Structure 1
């Protein structure tokens, strides 16, 4: 994927992650975009109930399942590149998000699955360059690249520069999405994610992604 496409994809995918992250926290009291945040926020509210560890394990399993689902279709597409296989993950998320915005009370379990699928799709189809909601890992990777930059040859330095740009844009996009959700905390904001997935499906059909 070319750098301009990576830049556009990084911003688009990360804005959606930022929106869904804040909506999940403020409206469902749950981090839906990553397991670390889910675990940390959940621990704070853990009382003496035996239900908590079961619920947490279930959410983590659903996040795992979403990654498996997105990655399975990616692998299947590369073994036999048929267009419909590339559309399965985006259509799955579009269906979940439409249900969420129309019901105005989307199940947290479905959001966990959808956001994991979202991350897996972006990561797989960009050769792991875009991880829309993994900000901790992104910042760590940036630090590693900065440290080793002067010790690499010119081609590798160019690659590091490109990766740095993409990672900065992911962080910016995530923050933009989060700010939007802070100032417009309503499930109706999911329509932005719905529009994103409609555009993504169109781009895939037209061979632009």
Structure 2
């Protein structure tokens, strides 16, 4: 029977016991990717809209920050240019920190080291959620830096999880690559077409999840204000617990 991509959406059934072991691993891996493709962008959508309402700026618009630096440098506003550069560095540092922890985990065989960046992200969101007006956490320079650092970590984690297939907050690339995927689907067949369909599905999930997270934030931010950041903190904590459960289940299966 022809192996279609949507079969990966079906929950496990008794018949899976008869499927080859490597096929089951592939399905399980794709479901994990689907989970991360949903959960991280949903969290990012909440955070980015919360940042927009707090400081009236889309803090993760890294592409737009570079021309702003150029304008400030040309106009002699060195302090402003320096602040924006620090935001960019915070975004870079988030990706570096996540990548470093993941690679050290592989090297040192410390299974849960990749949870450290996620714990830092959850802590940042809790700090922002509990911050009072005028506090350091809501400083117009410190707040965007913390948010960019946390989004950098989330982008890196979902990128590492999906083999650089998707990002949690960079919708420009996702939309463009989805167009490329759709074009390739019309010019491919067999296994190659199935793989491209799966990638396209993941990108659609990312966009829908990001939009859903932003709409969730739109509805609740007027009443919760910065306490909305408790929601992504809870989501990230849930991801950490899910990873621990998944690894323990894998150990039990192997043993």
Q: TM-score, normalised by structure 1?
A: 0.89
Report if the CA contact (8 A) 1:11-1:169 is conserved: yes
Measured on the aligned residues, the alpha-carbon RMSD in Å equals 2.2
1:3-53 CA-to-partner distances (Å, cap 9, x unmatched) read: 32222221111111111111111102332334125457x57x967633221
1:58-69 to structure 2, matched below 5 A, reads 58-69=86-97
Distance in 2, Cα, partners of 1:165 & 1:208: 26
Relative contact order (alpha carbons < 8 A, sep ≥ 6): 1 or 2 greater? 1
Q: 2:233: which partner in 1?
A: 194
In structure 2, how many angstroms separate the alpha carbons of the residues matched to 1:93 and 1:38?
A: 22
Aligned to 1:112: 148
Aligned residues: 207
Deviation at 1:76, TM superposition (A): 1.5
Q: 1:29-44, aligned counterparts within 5 Å?
A: 29-39=56-66
Q: Deviations over 1:31-79 (max 9, x none)?
A: 2334125457x57x96763322111111111111111111111111222
Q: 1:138 to 1:55 in 2, by over 3 A?
A: same
Alignment of 1:1-209 (within 5 A): 2-39=29-66, 49-104=77-132, 105-106=137-138, 107-185=143-221, 186-207=225-246
Preserved contact between residue 46 and residue 217 of structure 2 (Cα < 8 Å): yes
Measured in 2, the distance between the counterparts of 1:37 and 1:22 equals 17
Task: Report which of the two structures shows the higher radius of gyration computed on alpha carbons.
Answer: 2
**Unmatched runs of 5 consecutive residues or more in structure 1:** none
8 Å CA contact 2:166–2:174 kept in 1: the answer is no
Shift of 1:109: 1.3
Whether the aligned pair in 2 keeps the contact of 1:10 and 1:130 (CA below 8 Å) is: yes
Work out whether residues 184 and 196 of structure 2, in 8 Å CA contact, stay in contact via their aligned partners in 1: no
- Evaluate the alpha carbon distance shift between residue 48 and residue 23 of structure 1 in structure 2; reply closer, same or farther with a 3 A threshold: farther
CA distance in structure 1 between the aligned counterparts of 2:174 and 2:216, rounded to whole angstroms: 22
Distance 2:112 2:164 in 1: 22
Cα distance in 1 for residues equivalent to 2:184 and 2:162: 23
Secondary structure at 2:113 match in 1: helix
Query: In structure 2, what is the Cα distance between the partners aligned to 1:101 and 1:208?
Result: 30
Q: Any gaps of 5 or more consecutive residues in structure 2?
A: 1-27, 249-255
Distance in 2 separating the partners of 1:121 and 1:132: 9
